[in-house]
Amino acid sequence: MISPLATFLAALVLQDSTPMPRTIAIDEAFAEAAHLNVGDRVSISGRPGTETAPAEWVVVGAIFRRGADPSEVARADFKVRLHLDQLQRLSGYGDRVDRFAIATTDSADMARTLERVNRQAFGFRAYRSREIAVETSRTFLVVSRFHRAIGVITIVASSVFLLCIMVLKVEERRRDIAALRLMGISRASVAQSIVIEAALVAVLGSALGVLLGWVASLFVNSHYQALYQTPLAFSIITGPIVAFAVTLSLVLGIAAGLAASLRLVRTPPLTLLGR
């Protein structure tokens, strides 16, 4: 691997008329996999194998981190940036590009530009970036629907589990409940005390759940970001998500406690004592 400085000096000394090699930029994953650093010389070709035109020499000018592009996640490919004319030549694409990206000064300009371009378009069409993003993120729509389905199943399952465990735990205290009823404490008071207890447990459980969820989210992001070498956030916890989760778990917890307590307070106290 020869540094550009050495190449330059060699050129000076040898009065070589060979032009300086051009630079390319490679992504972090590629740099790691191929053990490349800035300044390293590599040969590139537009065709694989040996059947093509001689390769060109370039120098690694920069190593960049890929953006958080969901469509690139899980693809084990590398990204390289070349000067446009060089890539056009290497790939035999000629004087063509796949797309132009246009930035305007403000949104009004963008709308006007879009309209003007499409009126004059000759073999191409202009889109807002947002429209393209929606179209290319169909994969993630599928994944997000899948996650939502798993979420719904989890909620249904949790409701059944909660009810089950509440019923069991409240039943464990059937004798206490019988004693209270025999003392003259009303059904409503007994049920209320159980529901309050269930609500407290639900509040504590929700708080613990939020904490667990936050820790799990940290872990998920760190794991998948390292695995796929991307800065993409896989899990994001927002205020509305926390509010929804806490509200749901409170409602389910209280409902389960209420269902369990109603069952028992309706049973005659002596029956609860096994007489």
Partner 1 sequence: MKLTLAKASLVRHRSRTILAVLGVAIAAAMLLDMVMLASGMRESFRELLMTRGFEIRLAPKGTLPFDTDATIPGVRAVTDILRTNPDIETISPVMGASIHIPVGERNVSSAALGIDPSVQGDYELLLGEDVTRSDAIVANDYLLEQLGAKIGDTLNVATGYDPQTRSYTGQRRLVITGRVRFIYGAAQQPGSAMRRETLEGMVEPERRDRVSLFMVSLRKGADIEQARSWIAEQLPNVTAISIATAIAQVDQRLSYFRQLAFILGAVSLFVGFLLVTTLVTVSVNERAGEIAVMRAIGVSRAHVVQQIVIEGVAISAGGAVLGLALGLVTARYLNAILSAFPGLPVAIDFFLFQPRAAWSALALLIASGIAAGIYPAWRAASLPIAETLRREAIA
Contact residues for partner 1, defined by CB under 8 A:
47-51, 74-77, 92, 122-124, 138-139, 142, 145-146, 149-150, 153, 156-157, 160-161, 163-165, 167-169, 171-172, 175, 224, 227
Q: Which residue has the tokens 């970001």?
A: 225
Q: Which is nearer to partner 1, 106 or 172 (CB)?
A: 172
Instruction: Quote the CA–CA distance of 21 and 61 in Å, as a whole number.
Output: 10
- Our CB check for partner 1 shows the closer of 22 and 169 to be 169
Q: In what order do the strands lie in the sheet with 56-64?
A: 41-44, 56-64, 22-27, 80-81
Q: Which is nearer to partner 1, 128 or 148 (CB)?
A: 148
Question: Least distance (Å) from partner 1 to the CB of residue 237?
Answer: 17
Distance, in Å, from the CA atom of 67 to the CA atom of 65, rounded to the nearest integer, reads: 6
Q: Which is nearer to partner 1, 123 or 239 (CB)?
A: 123
Please state, in angstroms and rounded to a whole number, the distance separating the CA atoms of residues 275 and 137. 65
Distance in Å, CB of 161 to partner 1, minimum: 5
Considering the complex, state which of residue 20 and residue 74 has its C-beta at the smaller distance from partner 1.
Answer: 74
Output DSSP code: residue 70: G
What's the min distance (Å) between Cβ of 105 and partner 1? 29
Q: Give the contacts of 213 (CB within 8 A, at least 6 positions apart).
A: 237, 245
Q: For residues 41 and 169, which CB has a smaller minimum distance to partner 1 in the complex?
A: 169
Cα distance between residue 115 and residue 110, in whole Å: 9
Q: How far apart are CA 45 and CA 53, in angstroms?
A: 8
Contacts for 63 with CB less than 8 Å, ≥ 6 apart? 25, 26, 27, 28, 31, 36, 37, 38
> 74 or 200: whose CB is closer to partner 1?
74
Q: In the complex, what is the shortest distance from the CB of residue 6 to partner 1, in angstroms, rounded to a whole number?
A: 31
From CA 253, how far away is CA 259, in angstroms rounded?
10
Take residue 45 and report the two structure tokens written for it.
């070709």
Look up residue 60 and give its two tokens.
């690694």
Nearest residue (CB) to partner 1, 48 versus 240: 48
Q: How far is the CB of 47 from partner 1 (least distance, A)?
A: 7
Residue 135 corresponds to which tokens in the numbers above?
């179209």
Cα 23 to Cα 3: distance, rounded to the nearest angstrom: 12
CB of 11: closest distance to partner 1 in angstroms? Answer: 33
Minimum Å gap between C-beta 68 and partner 1 is: 16
Q: Least CB distance from residue 24 to partner 1, whole Å?
A: 17
